[in-house]
Chains A and B, each alone.
Chain A
Amino acid sequence: MNRIFTFLILGAIAVFASGAIEGAVEKQALNMSAIVMFVIFVGATLGITYWAAKRTKSAKDFYTAGGGITGFQNGMAIAGDYMSAASFLGISGLVYLKGYDGLIYSIGFLVGWPIILFMIAEPLRNLGKYTFADVAAYRLRQVPIRTLAASGSIATVVLYLIAQMVGSGKLIQLLFGLQYEVAVILVGVLMVLYVTFGGMLATTWVQIVKAFLLLSGATFMAVAVMAHYNFSFGSLFAAAVDVKGIEVMSPGGLVSDTISAISLAIALMFGTAGLPHILMRFFTVGDAKEARKSVFYATGFIGYFYILTFIIGFGAIVMVFQNPQYLDLAKQAVSGGSPILGGNNMAAIHLSHAVGGDFFLGFISAVAFATILAVVSGLTLAGASAISHDLYASVIKRGNVDGVKEMQVSKIATVAL
């Protein structure tokens, strides 16, 4: 509560200090309220990291937060891991662009969860190992399988990391008006700090805080949109149809034949199951009971969140689409249509400005960026555990872990640059 109050005061000061966002085409003007929010968030999470560092004593603590997180907290953290910037900005952008089709993606993403719980979580959890390679090595020959599985994990993590780093650099450029290079270095440095000093306990708490902020922010946006239409879905949808035509209300050209329908369905569903940083979260809780509960809570949070993004997407259709303030006029002059500033993925960001002004825009931007940061930290930890735990399995020492991780992180930062 205290933190939110501090947000409010500092945010208000920042808004007075900065004035409105200027609509530059490539790079937005320095967005003070967003930066202040973000700095507060980073400060708070570094505080958590410091607290966690003092409590992280062993390798088990480092990878799995000592198994002392409750099911509810872990559910929130899983939801936090899952509600990445791609989910929040991407899905609301997709709903903004295509209407109903955005909902199909949400459903596909969510349906993976029960399947994970029924089929994968239980045996994985029973083995009580840290990484995927541990699980495979439990049944197969140690050395070759560990090398293979670790390489697989690392490849996934590195590819995913590069994508996230590039994405976050772009996002910062748009949100805060910083240089791209500065942004990427900033992400890299913060990530190393979180992971090296805090381990899993810190990344878990960062995720919990972030998930809470993201859910509150999204709830506020959805409620603000609904309040505008007297809490009637009928009139919100009617307004959206007036803007974009009746097509937004029904499934469009997303899937048109059997093969692509089934392959999209499977890809969405099992995309969830394969993410190493999410699988690791089954071990941060004390026992199997809490692990199951955490999936249950996570599914609830994520489902709720997707329903919110759907409302937010429709809100963006009616409140952003028609408002010239958010449209990219230069681009419109060339290609026609109604392109919005920064591309369709920025729909939620613009909507936050439409419903809550500069202050709320700053809040949502900071949360969106913190989201990327938190996901990147989680991923780095998964990569680090694959390298240090699997490849150096016989010599698990904290010093060793840190060294390897920092090397890897700096490499990735260089590649991303």
Chain B
Amino acid sequence: MNKELVDKIKNNPDYQELVSKRTSFAIKLSISVLVVYFTFILTIAFNPSVLGAPLSSDSVTTIGIPIGVAVIIFAFITTGIYTKRANGEFDDLANKIKKSVKED
């Protein structure tokens, strides 16, 4: 790849939009996953009795079980959200950049 082409792509406003959007989107999702995960782990470390509380007075099922399953489902859903947006919006933008660079 020559330098001229690299500069052309770098100066393309769509490219800058793509990079900033995708980076901030990836960081936001990562942070939300990490916050959920570390909240879960630190609750276990500091206050395990919160997760050990029974769902209702006559049940032995603790609140920790639906919460744990929810963390797994949450991780799955965030990958789904990212995949959908990256495969739609971001790829469209990337194709638009490719096209405009080739036309010039």
Contact = CB atoms under 8 A, between A and B. Distances in A.
A167 to B, nearest CB: 26
A250 B41 contact: no
Contacts of A261: 41-42, 44-45
Given A118-B26, A299-B79, A255 B41 contact: yes
Chain A contact surface mostly = helix
A381 to B, nearest CB: 25
Nearest to A294: B83
Contacts of B75: 107, 110-111, 113-114, 299, 303
Given A114-B79, A117-B82, A261-B41, A100 B72 contact: no
Interface residues of B, number: 41
Contacts, number: 132
B83 A296 contact: yes
A257 B75 CA distance: 25
Interface string A277-310: 0000000000011001101100110010011000
Nearest to A101: B44
Nearest to B40: A107
A122 to B, nearest CB: 7
Interface stretch (A233-241, A348-356, A358-366, A394-402): A233-241
B60 A114 contact: no
Contacts of A289: 87, 91
A128 to B, nearest CB: 13
A257 B34 CA distance: 19
Interface string B62-85: 101100110111011011101100
B25 to A, nearest CB: 8
Contacts of A250: 48-49, 51-52, 62, 64
Contacts of B16: none
Q: Which residue, A234, A262, A303, has most C-beta atoms of chain B within 10 A?
A: A303
B33 interface: yes
A115 B62 contact: no
Interface residues of A, number: 47
B59 interface: yes
B24 to A, nearest CB: 11
Interface in B6-55: 22, 26-27, 29-30, 33-34, 37-38, 40-42, 44-46, 48-49, 51-52, 54
Contact of B72 (A110, A265, A293): A110
Contacts of B46: 258
B87 A292 contact: yes
Contacts of A269: 37
B37 A111 contact: yes
A195 B34 CA distance: 37
Interface string A248-270: 01111011111011101100010
Interface in A92-143: 100, 103-104, 106-108, 110-111, 113-115, 117-119, 122
A100 B75 CA distance: 19
Contacts of B64: 100, 103, 249-251
A246 interface: yes
B97 interface: no
A288 B30 contact: no
B100 interface: no
Given A100-B65, A118-B26, 9 more contacts: A100-B62, A106-B68, A111-B34, A250-B51, A251-B48, A257-B45, A262-B42, A296-B79, A306-B72
29 contacts: A103-B65, A104-B68, A108-B37, A110-B75, A111-B33, A111-B34, A111-B37, A111-B75, A114-B33, A114-B82, A115-B30, A118-B30, A122-B26, A122-B86, A234-B60, A238-B60, A249-B54, A249-B62, A250-B52, A250-B64, A255-B45, A256-B45, A257-B45, A261-B45, A264-B41, A293-B87, A295-B79, A303-B75, A307-B72
Interface of B: 22, 26-27, 29-30, 33-34, 37-38, 40-42, 44-46, 48-49, 51-52, 54, 59-62, 64-65, 68-69, 71-73, 75-76, 78-80, 82-83, 86-87, 91
Nearest 5 A/B pairs, CB to CB? A250-B52, A261-B45, A118-B26, A251-B48, A251-B44
